[in-house]
Amino acid sequence: MGRLGVAILGATGMVGQIYVQMLSRHPWFEIKAVTGNSSVGKRLGEAYRGKGHVPSEYADLEVLSSDPAKIDADLVFSCLPTKAAREVEPKFAAAGFPVVSDASAHRYWPDVPLIIPEVNPEHIELVESQKKRRGWDGYIVTTPNCTTVGFALPLKPLVDDFGLRYVNVVTMQAISGAGYSGVPSMAILGNIIPYIDGEEPKVSEEPRKILGTLVDGEIKPLDVQIDATCTRVPTIVGHLEAVQVELERDVSVEEVKESLSGFIGLPQKLELPSAPRRPINVFDYDERPQPRLDSDAGEVPGMVVSVGRVRKGKRPGTVMFVSLSHNLIRGAAGSAILTAELLYALRKVR
Ligand SMILES: NC(=O)c1ccc[n+]([C@@H]2O[C@H](COP(=O)([O-])OP(=O)(O)OC[C@H]3O[C@@H](n4cnc5c(N)ncnc54)[C@H](OP(=O)(O)O)[C@@H]3O)[C@@H](O)[C@H]2O)c1
């Protein structure tokens, strides 16, 4: 089988560079085109600011503008800034491209799936009504905010096994989450910023859609309240989150650990190339997980969400834990690649 040609919109950014690394020698996908803004006209090797070198097979790709007429690909990954994504992604979908996007621009449209492949693969069916309603030959599928993934994924087995009433999450988000030119060094070095503009509403709402049920072609959000406090901390990669949940019944710590560590989803059953064997890794040591030590966890580095410090709260049914996810991999490029693998396996990409 030949590999599918993919394009990356925003390939020179923090997230785009991860795609370039992850799609080096990918068994199903090959990068055919890359786009940018200030780097248009440069070779990708020259515009690249990531770790190591650009894989040699992609170093000479010319950075193009994000115009569908210039792109020859079977599928498009978009990691554009929100404003550009709002304008550009519908043009690609209208031109017949399947678009898998990390941007927030279209996540909340009712007919756009917001996917964590292990959690809600059935929501992918929404693309059919999206295409019909909008008269597009292509479609848009989105991945969640980098912070949402770290706790929405562990919530899934808890919802299924015990029922969920309430969630409170406090996040400690790395600076790479704000993009290459994101947070000024004078603001963040030796400091913590207790607010991230626009983040808390996303983190409170997205899990309700992801954990919702597809009924008659529409998503009915999960009936749960989520409160969030989002902070920026001076780590480089890996969002750490302190999560407190109220379950529908009292459970033991061991039951919760078993529920989390035993969880697998459709990507594991289908053995998709970027799926870790188990998506949630549970630590028994109080000092873990840590961003520097554990962000790259898993046999597909960065695709595992690590959970630790599982313990009971004082009120019956209340459980607390800490979770960690690689914001650029499981929180962005890796999630989108796994979603595209799922789309391909479900024959939504030709
Ligand atoms: N960073 C994370 O952890 C993370 C996680 C999940 C989702 N996201 C989302 O992913 C997207 C990208 O984030 P990032 O952190 O990679 O940002 P970034 O480092 O600022 O990169 C932005 C990319 O978009 C290109 N670009 C900027 N303006 C453009 C325009 N008007 N038209 C076309 N291309 C344009 C830039 O090209 P040049 O370099 O050539 O100027 C660069 O390739 C955002 O929507 C963000 O919210 C980020």
Over the chain, what is the mean pLDDT?
A: 96
CATH number at residue 71: 3.40.50.720
Q: Does 255 map to a domain?
A: yes
Same domain, 165 and 73: no
Please report the atom of ligand 1 found closest to the CA of residue 9: 34
Integer Cα distance of 332 and 345 in angstroms? 20
Same domain, 78 and 92: yes
What is the 19 CA–ligand 1 centroid distance (Å)?
Answer: 12
Q: Does 289 map to a domain?
A: yes
pTM value surpassing 0.95: yes
In the chain, the number of structural domains is 2
Check pocket membership of 332 for ligand 1, CB cut-off 6 A: yes
Q: What is the mean pLDDT of residues 156-182?
A: 96
Same domain, 135 and 154: no
Tell me: the pLDDT tens digits for 223-239?
999 999 999 999 999 99
pLDDT of residue 148: 98
Same domain, 42 and 96: yes
What is the 103 CA–ligand 1 centroid distance (Å)?
Answer: 8
Closest by Cα among 173, 313, 209, 300 to 253: 313
Tell me: the pLDDT tens digits for 56-103?
999 999 999 999 999 999 999 999 999 999 999 999 999 999 999 999
Check pocket membership of 325 for ligand 1, CB cut-off 6 A: no
Domain extent, residue 185, equals 146-325
Same domain, 165 and 103: no
Same domain, 164 and 131: no
What is the 263 CA–ligand 1 centroid distance (Å)?
Answer: 32
Q: Does 350 map to a domain?
A: no
Which member of 79, 146, 230, 326 is catalytic?
146
**Does 239 qualify as catalytic in the annotation?**
yes
Q: Does 62 map to a domain?
A: yes
Same domain, 102 and 166: no
Same domain, 175 and 39: no
| pLDDT band for position 1 (cuts 50, 70, 90) | low
**Predicted confidence (pLDDT) at residue 267 exceeds the cutoff of 90:** yes
Q: Does 162 map to a domain?
A: yes
pLDDT of residue 51: 78
Q: What is the mean pLDDT of residues 132-153?
A: 97
**Does 326 qualify as catalytic in the annotation?**
no
Q: What percent of the chain has pLDDT over 90?
A: 95
pLDDT of residue 220: 97
pLDDT of residue 52: 80
Q: What is the mean pLDDT of residues 1-22?
A: 94
What is the 15 CA–ligand 1 centroid distance (Å)?
Answer: 7
pLDDT of residue 334: 98
Check pocket membership of 328 for ligand 1, CB cut-off 6 A: yes
Check pocket membership of 238 for ligand 1, CB cut-off 6 A: no
Q: Does 268 map to a domain?
A: yes
| pLDDT band for position 4 (cuts 50, 70, 90) | very high
Same domain, 133 and 24: yes
Same domain, 161 and 309: yes
Same domain, 161 and 50: no
Please report the atom of ligand 1 found closest to the CA of residue 85: 45
Please report the atom of ligand 1 found closest to the CA of residue 145: 6
Same domain, 73 and 178: no
Check pocket membership of 17 for ligand 1, CB cut-off 6 A: no
CATH number at residue 182: 3.30.360.10
